[in-house]
Amino acid sequence: MTPETGERPQMSVEDFEELVRRAPKELRNRLEFLGGRLCVRHGPLDVEEFEELAAAAPETVRLEYANGKVVVKAMPDGNHGEIFMWLLRQCIQQRPELNLMPERGVKAEAYRKGRAVTDGFLAPVGHFRGHGNWSETEGALMAVEITSHDRDTDQRDRVDKPVGYAEADIPVYLLIDRDSNTLTVFSEPKDGRYQESPSYPWGTTVVLPSPVDITLDTEKLKDYAD
């Protein structure tokens, strides 16, 4: 935690050192750790270089590629995990023909040039069979993000993800926001933007639009307010 904000840094020094140790040899000298952030020297990585780096990362480091930049996604804490399981149970009960896959890598943004690790990705059972680390988004119904208390959650989950998921034509993006205790439901992607994005306070009944068609009773979320 940083004393000024109470937010967690992107990663620890130990995780950075392990990432460098595992990274492809040609990328090691390009990685820096400045102010608690992972930085890349000598220009941005391309998608192929990023995928090599992400594949080599230790389990404690989750990397994403947004707007041509490498970003670190915070590891989930206990409340984060409980919220995901709450959502998983409701999805399975109402749509047993679907899977809510946790921590699924997807090809986001225009021309699928971004790489995002979703907290949950809703798709038909069997949809991910044969996929590698990064799935195409065709046929999927919904991406889910649950905010973490790290310094980059605002840019990552509230700014970059709505654009990246809309550009990839994911029908619904559900943002469960632990800072404001709200759910925001982004839907109707068109021309790289979601046309609808209503927000609901925890405790209300939220209907996720087609093609998801799941009704969420969010009263339980109040138990996980930080």
Using DSSP's 3-state secondary structure scheme, residue 39 falls into: strand
The reply to whether 175 falls in a domain is yes
Number of Cβ atoms within 10 Å of the Cβ of 110: 12
Co-location of 96 and 200 in the same domain: yes
pLDDT at res. 5: 44
Range of the domain at 18: 13-73
**What pLDDT is recorded for position 153?**
87
Q: Could you tell me if 187 and 125 lie in one domain?
A: yes
**CB within 8 A of 29, min separation 6: which ones?**
41
Tens-digit pLDDT profile for residues 95-141: 999 999 999 999 999 999 999 999 999 999 999 999 999 999 999 99
**Residue position matching structure tokens 């996604």:** 73
The tally of domains found in the chain comes to: 2
Task: Please tell me the pTM assigned to this model.
Answer: 0.92
In a domain, residue 3? The reply is no
Q: What angle is formed at CA 124 by the lines to CA 60 and CA 189, rounded to 5 degrees?
A: 80
What is the structure's pLDDT at 1?
A: 44
CATH code, 167: 3.90.1570.10
CA 212 from centre of chain = 18
For residues 2-10, average pLDDT: 50
47 and 85 both lie in a single domain: no
For the residues 60-71, what does the mean pLDDT come to? 94
Of the chain, the percentage scoring pLDDT greater than 90 comes to: 88
Same domain, 206 and 165: yes
Do 42 and 154 have their domain in common?
Answer: no
Alpha helices in 57-177 (DSSP H): 78-94, 153, 161-167
18 lies in some domain: yes
- Residue 194 and residue 92 share a domain: yes
As a whole number, mean pLDDT of residues 147-165 equals 92
